[in-house]
Amino acid sequence: MTMKKSRRTVFLAIWTLVLLLCTAGCAQTKDLAALTADQASYTLSDVPEYSGEPYVTLNENQPDFSEEDLTETSFEAYSEQDALGRCQSAWANIGQDLMPTGERGKIGHIKPTGWHTVKYDSVDGKYLYNRCHLIGFQLTAENANEKNLITGTRYMNVEGMLPFENMVADYIKETGFHVLYRVTPVFEGDDLLAKGVQMEAYSVEDQGEGICFHVFVYNVQPGIFIDYATGESRRSDVPETQQEAAQTLIRGNTRSKIYHCPGQAAYEEMADSKNLILFSSEEEAIEAGYRKAKR
C-alpha cells in the first residue's frame, strides 16, 4: 500500500513538472510570435526630410517595446520578405551567446532589392551601396541571411547604423546583459530601395539605463541623387539628361583595342578602368581601330 502511494506521488510530481515546462514553452513561443510583427511603428510622414545628419530620433528616443516583450532569454527572429522580395523587421534579444565566435563569410552572392554595383569618387570606398545587415554581424553572427540584408548607402551603413551597433556590442560585452533590438526598413509604396531604417534598442536587465534609443537612419548619400523606386543613382551635380547620355556611350579599352556597348558583359566594369576611352558610336570606335567585344 505504501509503495503504491509512493509511486502515485512520484507520478503526480513528474506530471506537474511536465505541465509547467509545457506552459513555459508555450508562453515563450507566443512572445516570439508577437515579436516578429513586420510593421514599422512609424511611417515616412513621421520622419522629417534629411537635413545633413545621418539619423533623427523618434518618440523622444524611446523604443516601442511593451513590458511583455522584455525577456532575459536570448533569441533572434527575421521576418519573411514581402511579395516584392523586400526585407521586413529583424528582432533579437541579444546576449553574449548570440555574438560571433568566428570570422565573417562572403555575402557577395546576395542581391537585395534595389541593388546596383556603382562607384563614385566622392563616396568612401567608392561603392555607393553596401549589403547592409539589419542586425549587424557583430551582434548575432548572422551573415549571408537574405532576410537580414538590404541595399543601403555607404553613408547609412557607416555613419548611421554602425555607431549604434558598436554601442550595443560594447555594452553587451562589458555587462553580459541582454539588449532587445529591432531594425525595420521603411519603404515608400513599391519602392525597391528603403528610404531608411528604424532602429530600436533597450537594455533589459537594467531597464534601459545602459542602452535606450529609437532612431530613423536615412538611406542617403551626400552628393548623390537616388531613385528609390529602382535604386538607380547619379551625381547630384549631373543633370539627368547628361547622365543618361553617358550611359549610351561606347566604352573602349585602349590596351586591348576592344569596345563594349551598353548591355554587354563588361560594359559596367569598364566605367572605372584606367584604359577607358569613350566613343559616341560604334562607327567611331571602328574607325579608330577598335573591334567589338564578343559578349
Above 50 in pLDDT, residue 1? no
Q: How far apart are CA 215 and CA 197, in angstroms?
A: 8
9 within domain boundaries: no
| Averaged pLDDT of the chain | 86
- How would residue 30 be classed by pLDDT, with cut points 50, 70 and 90? very low
151 within domain boundaries: yes
Q: Quick one: cell of 86?
A: 523586400
Are both 89 and 181 inside the same structural domain? yes
Q: How far apart are CA 73 and CA 178, in angstroms?
A: 8
Condensed to tens digits (0 to 9), the pLDDT of residues 40-73 reads: 556 788 899 999 999 999 999 999 999 999 999 9
Decide: 277 and 254 in contact? Cβ < 8 Å.
yes
Are both 221 and 258 inside the same structural domain? no
Q: For residue 162, count CB atoms less than 10 angstroms from its CB and return exposed for 0-12, middle for 13-18, buried for 19 or more.
A: middle
Which of 201, 230, 209, 221 is CA-nearest to residue 113? 230
Which of 226, 257, 281 represents a domain boundary (last residue)?
A: 226
- How would residue 247 be classed by pLDDT, with cut points 50, 70 and 90? low
**CATH code of the domain in which 208 resides:** 3.40.570.10
203 within domain boundaries: yes
Condensed to tens digits (0 to 9), the pLDDT of residues 155-174 reads: 999 999 999 999 999 999 99
Backbone angles phi, psi at 287, to 5 degrees: -60, -30
What pLDDT is attached to residue 220?
Answer: 98
Q: How many CB atoms lie within 10 A of CB 131?
A: 19
46 within domain boundaries: yes
24 within domain boundaries: no
Helical residues (DSSP H) of the chain, grouped into ranges: 2-35, 137-140, 154-155, 162-175, 240-246, 282-287
Condensed to tens digits (0 to 9), the pLDDT of residues 89-124 reads: 999 999 999 999 999 999 999 999 999 999 999 999
Which of 58, 74, 118 is CA-nearest to residue 267? 118
Q: What is the pTM of this model?
A: 0.71
